[in-house]
Amino acid sequence: MKRRIYYHDTDCGGVVYYANYLKYMEEARTEFFEQRGILIQELSDNGTLFVVARQEIDYKAPAFYADILEVTSLLEGTSAVKMEFSHEVKNQKGQLICRGKAVLVCVDGTIRPKPIPEEIRSKL
């Protein structure tokens, strides 16, 4: 996923605010799902949600106002109820900005863990 950095993404020095990378990774995961025909809103409407149970991030270099970032999301593994993703964010020059990992847990409408439905698993 490519994403342009706007003024509202930055701090007063024109550097991307550190917590915004979590949003960019979330957006890239949504794109990952949609590219596989998995629509998050449709799942939610049917009582299947994915919540972030763990997130980690390592910052390597700053990104700046007007940069074009490429955010990649790779599914590293699954279990009965969770998915593990890795992420990389690079700028338009190919420089690594940060790496991250996220663990998502499948839950029902009451936020209790539930197995990942087979129709989702088969598309991953």
Q: Which residues form the catalytic set?
A: 11
Q: Report the alpha-carbon distance of residue 37 to residue 113 in Å, rounded.
A: 23
Helices (H), the chain: 20-35, 40-45, 118-121
Q: Tell me how far the alpha carbon of residue 20 is from its chain's centroid.
A: 11
**What is the SS3 assignment for 108?**
coil
CB contact set of 35 (below 8 Å; sequence gap of 6+) = none
